[in-house]
Amino acid sequence: MTSSETALNSGAPLRSGAELELAFTDLLANGQGVARAGALVVFCFGPLPGEVARLRITEVKQRYAVAEALAILREAPERARPFCPVFGTCGGCQLQHLGYPAQLQWKRKVVVDALERIGGSAGVDVRPTIGMAQPRAYRNKMSLVVEHRTTPPAVGFYRQRSHDVVPIDACPIVTPKLDADLRRLAALRENAAVSDMLGDARHLVARSADATGKSVLTITTERRSESAHRAAPLLLREVAGLAGVTNSYDLASANAIVGRRHRSLGGAAEIEETIGGVRYRVSAGSFFQVNVAMMGRIFDYLKPWLAPPRRIVDLYCGVGTFSLLFAAHGWRVHGIEENVQAIAEAAANARRNGLGELVRFTTGRVERLVGMPAVRNALRKTDVLFLDPPRKGCDETTLGAVAGAGVPVLWYLSCDPATLARDSKFLVAKGYRLGSIQPFDMFPQTGHVETLARLEYS
């Protein structure tokens, strides 16, 4: 036993730099394992529940400590060999060291725990997580950070819990088309036009479409970039299947990935994707789901609920992904979304699919519009309400308006089990009953889980 372990067992305070062995009992969504050292909770990336690891303490707070793993002394049977060389450094994935069946089980447990601990709902029907047959190469959008401390500039993703950049030239999580684009871009870094463009760029945002095999790229800069304009013809010529290049600029904040203004630098600004027979035109910066295969699974799950066609209000409708699915099954849809560009894309996609007469879209903040007469009336008359809010969930104004209107059935699609649990607790207190809860693995290899909850007014 080391002096640090002796001090820990004697009740002496744990200090930065101490080395010790701990057994891990839990796993957080950010990939950190959880252990206890006396009265302190210890967080450390790498160890899994059921494992014993040797650690070095790097930070000590009043109630918790952070450590780095030096060695895994006893491995859990669920441990897997990460397939990406920068896993553990790059912040994009958190769970590659956990076997995929265990990932699906863990994600269901996250949903159950949130509903019980935060929502106060025990014994709810949380079904096994629906996963992917091939849980890699699924992400159809990548937002690359440009690293300006190298010459020529490199591109990559942010390091774990940091704004430092991990340079990459390939990624096994993005679609094969985007991975090929990334490899080709890495090969072009030494080209003078590309190097100049990267010197101006803050981010490169690319999206691919499974339906067409094409991709589009936006180059995000602080202001209109002439170097991006000069590089665009070369990129369109040298990157196979690149359908168009745009320049995104006029950033709303220092951390903005896409600017408020866009201009075309060549080719098409949008590409076409198809899900469940519905056609969508999307740009690199569109708010469109990143896993088309799993979206298809969600569509399939919803289909038995769509007969016969009725009326539905789609709050936080984005580019109309679900609105158009409902309309394609004959439903009359009222979609509400605050992003003006998203609503413009939703309306265009409705026309493209010949569904314009079945949908109407309203632009504005949901929490403000639910108090307006037109939307209050729509909520009172609707048969179903579809909710797909951002990670922060819904505010009490919105939930209160929904409950006050007595909407008979709610379909709530959540990307955060904690806010789903919080919001469902509010709704249950207002008279709703939680029905089936279905987790979907929208983001394999990460700590995120998508959950579809059905609630009915009692």
pTM for the model stands at 0.94
Does 94 reside within a domain? no
Are 148 and 289 part of one and the same domain? no
Q: Would you call 415 a catalytic residue per the annotation?
A: yes
Tell the residue number behind the tokens 């950033």, with chain if given. 251
Residue type, 295: M
Torsion sign across C-alpha atoms 384, 291, 132, 77: negative
Are 37 and 12 part of one and the same domain? yes
Are 146 and 293 part of one and the same domain? no
* Counted domains in the chain: 3
Q: Domain of 33: which CATH number?
A: 2.40.50.140
Does 101 reside within a domain? no
Question: How far from chain centre, in Å, is Cα 180?
Answer: 22
Closest CA to 55 of 2, 108, 124: 2
What are the residues whose beta carbons fall under 8 Å from the beta carbon of 110, sequence distance 6 or more?
29, 417, 449
Q: What's the chain's length in residues?
A: 458
The dihedrals phi and psi of 230, each to the nearest 5 degrees, come to: -70, -35
How far apart are alpha carbons 339 and 288 in whole angstroms? 13
How far apart are alpha carbons 453 and 400 in whole angstroms? 18
Q: Domain of 219: which CATH number?
A: 2.40.50.1070
Q: Residue 333, SS3?
A: strand
Instruction: Give how far Cα 260 sits from Cα of 37, 202, 250, Å.
Output: 48, 14, 5
Does 88 reside within a domain? no
Q: Which of 84, 93, 317, 415 is catalytic?
A: 415
Residue 324 is given by DSSP the state H
Domain final residue pick, 25, 56, 74: 74
Domain range enclosing 177: 141-269
How far apart are alpha carbons 28 and 77 in whole angstroms? 18
Does 99 reside within a domain? no
Are 303 and 171 part of one and the same domain? no
Contact in structure between 143 and 182 (CB atoms under 8 Å): no
Are 150 and 125 part of one and the same domain? no
Q: What is the pLDDT along the chain (458 residues), one digit of tens a residue?
A: 444 444 444 456 789 999 999 999 999 999 999 999 998 999 999 999 999 999 999 999 999 999 999 999 999 999 999 999 999 999 999 999 999 999 999 999 999 999 999 999 998 999 999 999 999 999 999 999 999 999 999 999 999 888 899 999 999 999 999 999 999 999 999 999 999 999 999 999 999 999 999 999 999 999 999 999 999 999 999 999 999 999 999 999 988 999 999 999 999 999 999 999 999 999 999 989 999 999 999 999 999 999 999 999 999 999 999 999 999 999 999 999 999 989 999 999 999 999 999 999 999 999 999 999 999 999 999 999 999 999 999 999 999 999 999 999 999 999 999 999 999 999 999 999 999 999 999 999 999 999 999 999 98
Does 90 reside within a domain? no
Are 435 and 288 part of one and the same domain? yes
The dihedrals phi and psi of 313, each to the nearest 5 degrees, come to: -105, 130
How far apart are alpha carbons 454 and 445 in whole angstroms? 26
